Structure 1
Amino acid sequence: MAVAADKIRDRQRIIWDQFAAGWKKWDAELLDWHGPFGDAVIRDARLDPDSRVLDVAAGSGEPGLSAAALVPHGEVALTDISAGMLHVAEEKAAARALPNVSFRVCEAAELPFEDGTFDVVLCRFGFMFFPEVRAALREMVRTAKPGARISAAVWGRAAANPWASLILGTLAQHTELPRPPADIPGLFRCSAPGLMTRLFRDAGLLAVAERTVSTDLVHDSPESYWEFMTDIATTVATGLAQADEEVRSLIRSDVFQMLGRYEHGGSLRLRSTATIVTGIRA
């Protein structure tokens, strides 16, 4: 598994570096959309003004940068496998004048911190993509202090997330993309109810709690939604890249047609649902 995991991570570095520009381009929209999920992760983490916080798989900076504003006497370490994504986060931290933030390019399964360093560990929409989920969680537990809270968000089931399942389902109908095994990184890999609770308990965490948070991805038009998804969703762009021009045109046409059912008051509103899970380091 180690060799396979290394290959997955190598590919992830390349892909996320390539998509960093798209996440920078759509930063305002991503902040609005993902805001309720990041807020929930932070709320359940119960930050103190002097908390030392670790944000694993921070990507372009959230929820770590929001946490930094809440811990003026503490500090926040943002980590990600992609140097390109973290560069976007660094630019945002500088623009917000956040002096208590640091950045480390690293793998979630090999965090470069001493045992018991952090009061809080955050991970929003990272677990689904870790090649070795349990190894990553072990590292989060290892670097957390006794009594520290670990708070995470993962996407819920596909049916509760038409923002992604609509376009991914259409891709599957028009291409011959193989169905990935359950243990391979992907958007809905951690979506089964209770899965994250079991993982947290198996890692020795106490008082594990799981809840659901939902919001809508809002766009003004099918064209805006399509551009957004092809700029920020790695799975969508990868699938489209494997189709010829005629098939891509068919996929786009079908997606636009189905988006009609999500139009409300002149805007498209696509449901987005995540599971928030928290636990306490023994």
Structure 2
Amino acid sequence: MSAHLDQIRDQQRETWDRFSAGWKKWDALVLGWLAPFGQAMIRQAAIEDGDQVLDVAAGTGEPGLTVAALIPNGRVTVTDLSERMLQVASENARNRGLTNFETKICDAGALPFPDAAFDAVLCRFGFMFFPDVAAAAEQLRRVAKPGAHVCAAVWSSPEKNTWATTIMATIARNVELPKPPVGAPGLFRCAPEGMMTAVFADAGLHDVREEEITTTMVHDSPEDYWAFMTEIAAPVVAGLGQADIATRERIKAEVLDLARQSMRAGKVELRSTATVVVGTRQLQ
């Protein structure tokens, strides 16, 4: 890996370590919010009891924790760059009484597992942040057994994800943010139509297909939405860090107003859409 990609990887590790407390605090909300994407991945990956499953860039443990509960005679290994995020994952596994679950700190671009080791390989919302998307896809294919499915989820376009744009677009309207380099890690980096299909095909996976899944992020109040996004989203915190006190208060007021406009039956409801892509390692 080049020095530049090494730097991106190290920045990602530092960021996820720093925000791990926020992710732990909001874990129950995230669990429910993102569950439909994990369920779609599990279905597409055709996981069966007794399987050895790898979940890459799993953070606090999902969807690997759900998989472990579904396959008591199998085993799930989850990886992440962040030791602190994986500590939360291990705690979650203990709380659920899961003994067929283990964690491994590692880089998705250099997985420390032998070839053809897993019956299914998952990666939910990791590809957008990998320094080298192609290298990560090749690693996921490499560790999958012949005939095994490799499945990932990435966020779709910004207009389909008001959970993020409600606050990020407001920050961008009020603060002059530096334009990220083309292809830099970011929430919507893998959103272009067909991008992940091409990445999987180029990595040597076959029968590649995509499915779009839409769900809703729900908060009890606009204030809860603001607290959530300012405690778990690094780009939000970075953007707000560029604002003076008056500008930050203006941003907050605008975000709360937009969140109020998204309320249904007393709850804030914000659209969340992802693309689930699956491919198969060819039988040898």
TM-score (norm 2): 0.97
Look up the SS of the partner of 1:166 in the other structure.
Answer: helix
Identity of aligned residues (%): 53
Look up the SS of the partner of 1:184 in the other structure.
Answer: coil
Alignment correspondent of 1:171: 171
How much does 1:181 deviate? 2.6
Look up the SS of the partner of 1:16 in the other structure.
Answer: helix
- Please report the RMSD computed on the Cα atoms of aligned residues, expressed in angstroms: 1.0
Alignment correspondent of 1:272: 272
Tell whether the 8 Å contact from 2:138 to 2:204 is kept in structure 1 after alignment.
Answer: no
How much does 1:200 deviate? 0.8
Q: Distance in 1 between matches of 2:152 and 2:273?
A: 14
Q: Distance in 2 between matches of 1:182 and 1:49?
A: 42
Q: Where in structure 1 do 4 or more consecutive aligned residues deviate above 4 Å?
A: none
Point out where structure 2 has 5 or more consecutive residues left out of the alignment: none
- Please give the per-residue CA displacement for 1:38-94, whole angstroms capped at 9, x wherever unaligned: 111111111110110000000000001101111111111100000010000000011
Alignment correspondent of 2:83: 83
Look up the SS of the partner of 1:268 in the other structure.
Answer: strand
How much does 1:4 deviate? 1.2
Partner AA of 1:14 in structure 2: E
Give the 5 Å matches for 1:39-78. 39-78=39-78
Alignment correspondent of 1:228: 228
Partner AA of 2:173 in structure 1: Q
Tell whether the 8 Å contact from 2:197 to 2:277 is kept in structure 1 after alignment.
Answer: yes
Alignment correspondent of 1:239: 239
Give the 5 Å matches for 1:26-175. 26-175=26-175
Alignment correspondent of 2:13: 13
Partner AA of 1:259 in structure 2: A
- Please give the per-residue CA displacement for 1:122-165, whole angstroms capped at 9, x wherever unaligned: 00000000010000111111111111100110000000001001
Partner AA of 1:12 in structure 2: Q
Alignment correspondent of 2:2: 2
Point out where structure 1 has 5 or more consecutive residues left out of the alignment: none
**Number of aligned residues:** 282
Q: Distance in 1 between matches of 2:202 and 2:192?
A: 16
Look up the SS of the partner of 1:218 in the other structure.
Answer: strand
